[in-house]
Each structure stands twice: as C-alpha cells, then as structure tokens.
Amino acid sequence: MKEEELKSLIEKYYSGISTDEEELALKAYFTENSAFPGYETEKEIFSFYNESGGMPEPSADFEARIIKAIDDASGTGRSSKFRKLLVPILSAAAGLLILAVSYFFFINRAEPKDTYANPDIAYAETMKILMNVSSKMNHGTSSLRPVGKINEMKIKSLGSINKSSILIEKNLRSLGYLRNADIKSASKK
C-alpha cells in the first residue's frame, strides 16, 4: 500500500466515512507490515483491535435503553410532568397565604389605648415609673464608685511623686552649686 492511499484511508476512518472493506484493509496493513514513519499511533490502535477481537455488537434493545436513560436523566418522565403541574399550584398557594397573613396582621393591629381617664393619675404613675428607673440606674452606677476612687488615688499619687521630684531637683541644684563652688575654689588655688 502506498503512503498516499494509506493517508486517504486514515482520513476517511477518522472522519467516520470509511467502509468496512477499507477498515479491514487498514487492519491488515497495520498488522502485517511495518508502518510508514509517523503512523505508529495508528499501528497501535489497529493492533489493539486485532488483539481484542474487534468491537462487540450491541444488543437489539441497546438504542432503546440509551433513549430511556436520556429521558430519565433529563426529567421528561412522569415526575417531571408532576413537578411542572405542582410548582405553579404551590406558588399560588404561597401567594394566597402571604395575602391572608398580611390581611389579618394589618386588620387586627392594636392601637395604643389611653389607660387613664384622669391626667393627674397618669402623671403620678409616670413619675412613679421614672423614679423607679432612676433608682435602678443610680444603683447600677454605684458599682462604678471604686473606679472613681482608683482615679482619685492615681491623681494623689502623681501629685506626691511630682512634689518629691521637685524637692529632689532643688536638692540637686544646691549640690550643683556646691560642686561648682568647689571647682572654682580649687581652680583658684
């Protein structure tokens, strides 16, 4: 077989338009002869076909099983029809439920009622409640008093440290004057 004829047969084979006779010729060529350089891959492919005994023929219902599997996977069966019918019904029911709940929520909303007919009693009750709140808040702030004492102690401590540093500085200055006087007197001698 010439290389041009081999190339043509391989192109037909890969395009899927080769006949059974052409495929048999390719199998025979690659099993009997050494292939032209560059056709090693095709030689391996056709050698595999010869060793495995060819491709098995599919069963008679093979095509029907594939179509059924595709239908099941894409959901075109009975459950899909049921789902297509159920989704709009459930959506409408959810919408109606939201409308009903909204209606009862807004209709039965209680307005604040006036609890006291006499304004003096209302004022007295308000003052009583505000005093109760005030005492609770004062009680809560009483636990912060130790924090205030810590701050006072810090201020007193810093003040005493400041006074001490002023005294030390004065004493050091006086020592500095003595040393300067000693240095001057020693230089005069």
Residue 54 backbone zone (phi > 0: left; psi -120 to 50: alpha; other: beta): left
User: Which position has the higher pLDDT, 21 or 39?
Assistant: 21
Q: Which is nearest to 142 in space by CA: 153, 134, 152?
A: 134
Stated as kind and residue range, the H or E segment containing 11 is helix 3-15
pLDDT reported for residue 37: 78
Residue 168's SS3 state is: helix
Q: How far apart are the first and last CA of the chain?
A: 130
pLDDT reported for residue 52: 66
Q: Which tens digit of pLDDT belongs to each residue from 134-146?
A: 888 888 777 777 7
What is the pLDDT of the chain when averaged over all its residues?
80
Q: The whole model's pTM is what?
A: 0.30
The yes-or-no verdict on residue 189 having pLDDT over 70 is no
Which range is least confidently modeled, 19-33, 38-52, 78-92, 160-174? 38-52
Q: Which tens digit of pLDDT belongs to each residue from 52-83?
A: 665 667 778 888 888 888 877 766 556 667 77
pLDDT reported for residue 177: 67
